[in-house]
Structure formats: C-alpha cells, structure tokens
Chain A
Amino acid sequence: MDTSKSVVVLLVEDDPGDQKLIRNALGHQKIKNRLYIVGSGEEAIGYLERSKTGDTESPRPDLILLDLNMPGMGGKEFLRHIKADNDLCAIPVVVVTTSDSESDVQESYKLHAAGYVQKSPSPQELQRLVEKLAKYWFATSLLVKN
C-alpha cells in the first residue's frame, strides 16, 4: 500500500475560526489527507498557478473547499475563473459556506460546483459534515491522478 500518497485538499476560507474547525475535522479523518489553506480567492489563484509549475510547496489539490463570502474576489468569481481554466477545471470544487440561500445554491451549481455544504457553528456537526464529505470524495469517488 502506498502510504506516501495522500489526498491534497485546498481550503479557500478567510475566517480563521472556520479554518481551524475545518482543519481539525479533516485531521480526524481516517483517510490521509494534506490540507493547504488560503484566505482569499486571489491567494487561491496564486496557489493554483504555482501548482501548475510543480512547486512542491503548492501541490495541485485533488479537491477544493470554497467559502463564498470573502472580501475582494468572492467565491463565485473564483469558481468562475477556475472553471474557465482548461487545466484546473477538472478539480472538483465543493462550496462550504454559511449561506443557504436558494440563489447562492443555484448560482454555485450553475458555475459547476461539485457540491454545496452549509457550515455549522457546532464543531461536532461540522465534523459530521466533513466526515461524509471525506467518505464520498476520498473513499467512494475516484479523483484525477496528478
């Protein structure tokens, strides 16, 4: 069994509290994963551009978790940008955000989000959400080999 290979997740999230909660939740998952965190859409684009060059500090993510409400470039604008990139568009992006408005849900799926999860303020509930997300993406679905 190849233990060096683990799933790379990029979290695009500006709130430090939520960054910590999601980091903890992913850290508890049985399936090995490496989490990289950026605090804005702009930083995420920078990260992904570096990953294209094979930068070992910025490995290409297998999955992106994306908050919608961020200052500057919002989540939807970032999603639109990445889905227009011929290379990066193959990375599944799951929206993980506080909003549950129908228009946010609809717009995200129109922009080809691969899921939409509403954050919970309860760490236990967030843990549960992340566990089901991980079970699907890490243990059920195949991912693009990088």
Chain B
Amino acid sequence: MDEFKMVVILLVEDDVADQKLIKRSLSSNKVANELQIVSSGEQAIAYLKRSKDGEPNSPMPDLILLDLNMPGMGGKEFLNYIKADNELGTIPVVILTTSDSDRDVLETFKLQASGYIKKPVSLKDFQEAMQNLSEYWFVICKRVCHGNKNERRTHKCFVGR
C-alpha cells in the first residue's frame, strides 16, 4: 500500500494580498497540501538550497507556483536558474501571474514552465483553477520523488487514485 506524503507547494510571490488569496484557495483543495511561501526569486533559491541540504523546515517542493513580476530577480530569471539545476530542474514550475501577454507566455514556455495561469480575480475562480492544477499534477501525473535526506523511512510519492 502506498504511503501518503502530503504534497508540498512552494509559492514564489511578493504581493501579500495575493499570498493570502492563494493560501485560501489551496486550503480547501481536495488534495491535502503544505504551502511554503517566499517573496522573491532570491528567497526561493535560498529555500531550495536548504531543501537540498535536508533541512526539515524547508521540505523539497513537489510543485512551484511562480509569479513573474517581482523586484530584484524576476520570475523568468528564477525559472532559468532552476531549470539549469540537475536536481531542481525536474520540479514542475507553473507560472501564476497577472500578465497574460503573449510574450510572457511564450518566453516562460521556452524556459520550460509547465503551465501558465493568469491569476483569477474571484476566490471561487481561484479555487477552481487550483483544483484543476492539483488534480493534474498530484492525482493523474507521476512525479519525481524528491525524498528529504533526514527522513528515515522511504516514502513513495503519492500515487494518484
């Protein structure tokens, strides 16, 4: 019988109101998830370094939700960085941003984003988008297991019903 490991989502988003809205949208999701939030590309890189080192408070994410418009290291620069990493490059990154410009969509898919969601406005639409996202990534898709080094038991990634 497969052990169930709660999925970990890393949200890279600088806007505090959007952080709250996304957290609310995911809290009612049918797929139980742990949301980790960082507010910049730089913080995201630091978080992922800690994950690699097996720090228990920074579990390796199963999925990254990435805003594009952030001060300092923007979303595209972060995406480029992570996709060049041998281990981190296999984590799916889904863009979640206000822009729906053709150029932003094209550039992020070229950088191997695994989806591009324009931020919905209402909570209900947001919840629906997050539900579709989690059913795709956590129920029907197989994913690479990134076991945390400090865990003594071996976990299987959650295998969809």
Contact = CB atoms under 8 A, between A and B. Distances in A.
B140 to A, nearest CB: 5
B114 A145 contact: no
Contact of A105 (B112, B136, B144): B144
Interface residues of A, number: 31
A118 B161 CA distance: 12
Contacts of B109: 90-92, 144
A90 B141 contact: no
A132 B140 contact: yes
Interface stretch (A3-11, A23-31, A35-43, A107-115): A107-115
B143 A135 contact: no
Interface residues of B, number: 31
A122 interface: no
Contacts of B56: none
A38 to B, nearest CB: 22
Contact of A102 (B110, B117, B145): B145
A105 B129 contact: no
Contacts of B118: 142
A112 B85 CA distance: 12
Given A106-B144, A117-B141, A90 B106 contact: yes
A117 B142 CA distance: 6
Looking at B115, B136, B139, which has the most chain A CB atoms within 10 Å of its CB? B136
Considering the complex of A and B, which 3 residue pairs feature the smallest CB-CB distances, nearest first?
A136-B136, A109-B90, A141-B115
18 contacts: A105-B143, A106-B144, A109-B89, A109-B143, A112-B83, A112-B89, A114-B114, A115-B114, A116-B142, A117-B140, A133-B140, A136-B132, A136-B137, A137-B136, A140-B129, A142-B116, A142-B117, A144-B106
